[in-house]
């Protein structure tokens, strides 16, 4: 059994559109046990959050510590959060609207729960424990089922006037283009997320194009994963490479806009797509971004992959749980 003192453990949960990760985290911010579930088919909020609670309990069990040693829970959820009630508003990647996440999880786990926006929580993790350590001005892009972002200004997470800052995925890069899950036409999420990548690959197949992905996913193209895209790219599959380069191009436009607007010390790229595709995808985006900077000196701004990988959301949520805040003195979104 792991040697931890009573009340030293918190649970961090990263809830996404395809999976939920739960980690039991010790006082030194090390993950001592974790568990994962798929969220693809569990869309009913009560059902899904009951499964998330069970996942959290499994993480603690895998850590080898008593559940009584857990003092609090933090969770990142994809969507806008009411900081007073812990209710998520419109979360299209989960199919949710006005779900009282805090109340449901507190009932399921019998512990205090702090709720934040998933990407802002992951930004907290990267800023405090990952690639953004020591930086005063940080911008993050997390590319997965959707695209989200976070902002650190003067060393603190920036929430904005309406607690809604950082929605980088809904900046517009192709007006009149396809719609994202929230119904916006031509935003970055609609052009460069895994959902968009999958849509464009499926459209190519419908037009008669052949792709190695058909074999890789055993014909189930509707459920392709980021790792499947990486495998197809490694095989130099033409359809996959063309679609991914196009997505990286739009991501590059988003990066250039962030640099021109915010002039950060560093931009951190994370999420399942970036983690699976790595430097190849990042470099494609950088190649598009840098020629579009207004400030010549900004071309030296580092654009790097997230240091914490899949753990960023869990660790950020654990910080949220331990502090009861997003780290900037205001309740978490």
Please, what are the domains in the chain? 9-123+311-323 (3.30.420.40), 131-305 (3.30.420.40)
Instruction: Give the whole-number percent of the chain exceeding pLDDT 90.
Output: 77
Going by their DSSP bridges, the two strands 87-91 and 81-82 should be labelled as antiparallel
Question: Does 1 have pLDDT greater than 70?
Answer: no
Mean pLDDT for the stretch of residues 183-198: 95
- 325 pLDDT band, cuts 50/70/90, is very low
* Residues 211 and 201: beta-carbon distance below 8 Å: yes
CA 96 to chain centre: 17
Token couple for 86? 């812990």
Give which of 246, 173, 145, 169 is closest to 204, Cα–Cα. Answer: 246
**Closest listed residue to residue 266, CA positions, set 120, 81, 136:** 136
CA-wise closest residue to 116 among 144, 73, 76: 76
Instruction: Tell whether the model's pLDDT for residue 42 goes beyond 70.
Output: no
Q: At residue 280, does pLDDT exceed 80?
A: yes
Strand partners, 156: 153
> Torsions phi, psi of 266, nearest 5?
-160, 150
Question: Cα angle vertex 274, ends 216, 39, to 5°?
Answer: 65
What single string gives the DSSP state of each residue in 123-136?
HHHHHHHSTTTT-S
- Whether the CB-CB separation of 70 and 24 falls below 8 Å is answered with yes
Chain length of the chain:
333
Q: Please give the pLDDT value at position 133.
A: 95
Which is nearest to 245 in space by CA: 291, 281, 292? 281
> What does the pLDDT look like over 74-105, one tens digit per residue?
999 988 888 889 999 888 778 888 999 999 99
Q: Cβ atoms within 10 A of the Cβ of 193, count?
A: 30
Side-chain half-sphere CA neighbours of 280 within 13 A: 12
- Across 2-16, 41-55, 143-157, 296-310, least confident range: 2-16
Classify burial at 309, counting beta carbons within 10 Å of its beta carbon; exposed 0-12, middle 13-18, buried 19 or more: middle
Which tokens hold the place of 9?
């453990």
Instruction: Give the pLDDT of residue 159.
Output: 85
């Amino acid at each position: 059994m792991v040697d931890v003192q009573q009340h030293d453990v918190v649970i961090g949960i990263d809830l996404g559109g395809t999976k939920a990760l739960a980690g039991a985290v010790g006082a030194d911010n090390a993950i001592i046990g974790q568990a994962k579930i798929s969220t693809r088919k569990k869309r009913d909020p009560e059902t899904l959050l009951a499964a998330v609670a069970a996942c959290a309990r499994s993480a603690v069990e895998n850590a080898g510590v008593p559940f009584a040693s857990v003092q609090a829970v933090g969770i990142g959820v994809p969507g806008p959060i009411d900081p007073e009630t812990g209710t998520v508003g419109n979360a299209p990647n989960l199919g949710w609207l006005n779900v009282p996440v805090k109340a449901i999880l507190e009932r399921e786990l019998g512990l205090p729960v702090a709720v934040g926006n998933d990407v802002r929580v992951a930004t907290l993790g990267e800023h405090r424990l990952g690639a953004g350590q020591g930086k005063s001005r940080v911008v993050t892009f997390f590319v997965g089922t959707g695209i989200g972002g976070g902002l650190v200004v003067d060393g603190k997470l920036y929430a904005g006037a309406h607690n809604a800052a950082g929605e980088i995925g809904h900046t517009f890069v192709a007006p009149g283009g396809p719609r994202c899950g929230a119904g916006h036409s031509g935003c970055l999420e609609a052009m460069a997320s895994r959902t968009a990548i999958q849509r464009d690959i499926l459209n190519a197949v419908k037009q008669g194009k052949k792709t190695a992905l058909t074999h890789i996913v055993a014909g189930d193209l509707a459920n392709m994963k980021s790792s499947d895209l990486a495998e197809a790219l490694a095989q130099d599959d033409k359809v996959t490479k063309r679609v991914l380069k196009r997505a990286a191009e739009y991501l590059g436009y988003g990066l250039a806009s962030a640099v021109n607007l915010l002039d950060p010390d560093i931009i951190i790229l994370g999420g399942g797509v970036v983690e699976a595709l790595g430097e190849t995808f990042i470099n494609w985006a950088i190649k598009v971004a840098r020629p579009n900077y207004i400030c010549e000196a900004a071309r030296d701004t580092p654009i790097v992959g997230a240091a914490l990988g899949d753990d960023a959301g869990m660790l950020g949520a654990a910080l949220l749980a331990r502090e009861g805040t997003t780290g900037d003195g205001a309740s978490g979104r």
